[in-house]
Structures are given as C-alpha cells and as structure tokens.
Structure 1
Amino acid sequence: MKILLVDGTLLGRKTGAILEQVEQYIKELDEGLEVSQLHLADFEHQFVDGRPFDQYNDDMKKLVKTIEEADGYILATPIFQGSIPGVLKNTFDFLHPKALRYKPVSIVANGGTYQHHLVVENQLKPILDYFRALVTPNYVYTHGDHFDSENKIIDENVHERLREMARVFVKYCELSKDLPKETIDQH
C-alpha cells in the first residue's frame, strides 16, 4: 500500500516534524507499507476556478495524481486564524469526489492555542466525510509548547498519542485492503 504523509501548508516546520515522527512509527509497525511525504510547499499552486482540469499547470496535475494514487494518508496541518490553510482546502477542491473513498486517513494538527483542536472536528472531519474516507478516531493535536527550538517533539504524551494513532492507522490500512476502490479517470 502507498501511504502519503501530506504536509498541508506552505510555511512552518512543525507539521513536517510531526510527519517525520509519524513516518518512523508507521515503519516500525509495518515495514511493508510504502510511505512517502508530500509537501504542498513543493508545488506551484493555482486556485480551483472551474476551468477544465487539463488547463491547470503541471504541478497541480502532478499533485492531484500523487494524492489520488495513494492508498492511505496522514494529513498534517497547522491551524491559522481558527482554520485550515487555504492551500490545503484548495487541494481538496481539486480532488475527484471518489478520490479518497474507503482509504484510511489520520489527522495531525498544530495550533497556537489548545482550543484550535476543534478545527479538526469542525472542518477537516466533515471534508473527509464528504470524500467517504476512513478517518481514524484518534487525531493528534499539538501546541507550540510540545516542541523545542529546533521543532523536535519534546512532550512524551504527544509521542504516545502519535504511536497510538500510527497503530490504529496501520490497522485501518489492513481493514481497507479488501474494500472496493474507484479508479479515477483524469478530471
């Protein structure tokens, strides 16, 4: 299975640091999973504006293809102004409605206040429900206090929650193997 760890922002390093840790935990649990990272910052983004898909730039085509070809996802996002970054929402808007169907997804988020964890519940989960993704019930929310000055996770409780999330995610991967997946024709 191809597992894509998606860093859903253009700036900052905390979400990337979380993904690096999650990648380690997933590999410890199942070496057979093909895990790779995708950083939205590596692409030249365009806004979804209703034009035919073939009129978007090559980066957008590559981004969508990479996401749609994966079998499972760990989504990492910062919380800005009480919301997910626009670039992450724009990426979702590019995807075919069946692109994530019956594929496992776990969520990690980082915010400036402890209350921003509700963005996961109020924004990300409804988007993923629309796609009919298999969202694991245990997302991990982090705060700036959980990191040192070099963005290394220093809170042992966060490590425990990431390990548990990885464990549940790997089980969801096993469960999803026999579910029907749709082949998405290019938009």
Structure 2
Amino acid sequence: MKILLVDGTIIGRKTGAILKQIETYIKEFDGSLELELLHLADFEHQFVDGRPFDQYNTDMKTLVKKFEEADGYILATPIFQGSIPGVLKNAFDFLHPKALRYKPVSIVANGGTQQHHLVVENQLKPILDYFRALVTPNYVYTHASHFDKDNNIIDENVLERLQELVRVFGKYCELSNDLPKEPIDQH
C-alpha cells in the first residue's frame, strides 16, 4: 500500500517533525507500506476557482494525482487562528469526492493552545467524513511544550500516542484492502 504522509502547511516545522517520527514508527510496525512524505510547501499553489482542471498548473495536477493514487494518508496540520491552514483546505477542494473513499486516514495536529484540538473534531473530521474516508478514532494533538528548541518531540506520552496511532492505522489499512474502491472520473 502507498501511504502519503501529508504535511498540511507551507510554513513551520513541527508538523514535519511529527511526520518524521510517524515514518519511523510505521517502518518499525509494517515495513511493507510504501511511504511518501508530501510537503504542501513544495508545490506552487493555485486557488480552486471553478475553471476546468486542465487549466491549473502542473503542481496542482501532480498534487491531486498523488492523493488519488495513494491508498492511505496520515495528515499533519498546524492549527492557525482556530482553523486548519487555507492551503490544506484548498488541496481538499481540488479532490474528487471519491478520492479518499474507504481509504484509511489518521490525523495529527499541532496548535498553540490545548483547546485547539477541537479544530480536528469540528473541521477536519467533517471534511474527511464527506470524502467517506476511514478516519482512525485516535488522532494526536500536540502543542509547543511537547517539542524541544530543535522541534524534536520530547513528551513521552505524545510518543506513545503516536505509536498507538500507527498501530491502529495499520489495522485500518488491512480493513481498507477488503473494501471496494470506485474509479475516479477523469477531471
């Protein structure tokens, strides 16, 4: 299975640090999964504005293709101003409604306060539910005190929760294998 580890922002380093830790845990848990780190910062973004898909730039076409071809996702997002980054929402807006259907998704988020974890519940999960993704129930939320000055995770509880997230994600990957996927109409 091909798994995208999506860094859902164009600024900051903490979500990328979380994904690197998850990548290590996935390799320990199930070395058969093909992993790709996808940093939204590596793409030249355009706003979804209703024009035909073939009129968007190559980066947006590549981004959509990577999402469509993946079999599962770990989404890492910062919480800015009580919301997911616009660039992540814009990426979702490019996707066909069937792009994530019955594919496993785990969520990790980072914010400045403990209360911002509710953004996962109130914004991100409803978007993923719309796509009918198989969202694991155990997302991990972090904040600045969980990291050292070099953005290494120093909180043992966070590391344990990330390991558990990976374990549950692996089970959802197994479940996903038995579910039918509908082909996506070409854009």
TM-score where L is the length of structure 1: 0.99
Look up the match of 1:129: 129
Alpha-carbon distance, 1:183 to partner: 2.2
Look up the match of 1:48: 48
List gaps (5 residues or longer) in structure 1.
none
Q: What is the distance in 1 between the residues matched to 2:39 and 2:183?
A: 24
Look up the match of 1:71: 71
Q: What is the distance in 2 between the residues matched to 1:36 and 1:158?
A: 22
Look up the match of 1:57: 57
Look up the match of 1:27: 27
Alpha-carbon distance, 1:140 to partner: 0.1
- The secondary structure found in structure 1 opposite 2:118 is helix
List gaps (5 residues or longer) in structure 2.
none
Alpha-carbon distance, 1:27 to partner: 1.1
TM-score where L is the length of structure 2: 0.99
Alpha-carbon distance, 1:186 to partner: 2.5
Deviations along 1:27-77, one digit per CA (max 9) or x if unpaired, are 111110001110000000000000000000000000000011000000000
Q: What is the distance in 2 between the residues matched to 1:181 and 1:37?
A: 23
RMSD: 0.5
Kindly provide the amino acid, as one letter, of the partner of residue 121 in structure 1. Answer: E
Alpha-carbon distance, 1:11 to partner: 0.2
Look up the match of 1:109: 109
Alpha-carbon distance, 1:143 to partner: 0.4
Deviations along 1:54-110, one digit per CA (max 9) or x if unpaired, are 000000000000011000000000000000000000000000000000000000000
Kindly provide the amino acid, as one letter, of the partner of residue 12 in structure 2. Answer: G
Deviations along 1:97-140, one digit per CA (max 9) or x if unpaired, are 00000000000000000000000000000000000000000000
- The secondary structure found in structure 1 opposite 2:35 is strand
Kindly provide the amino acid, as one letter, of the partner of residue 94 in structure 1. Answer: F
Q: What is the distance in 2 between the residues matched to 1:171 and 1:72?
A: 12
Kindly provide the amino acid, as one letter, of the partner of residue 22 in structure 2. Answer: V
Kindly provide the amino acid, as one letter, of the partner of residue 74 in structure 1. Answer: I
Kindly provide the amino acid, as one letter, of the partner of residue 147 in structure 1. Answer: F
Identity %: 84
Look up the match of 2:81: 81
**Paired residue total:** 187
- The secondary structure found in structure 2 opposite 1:76 is strand
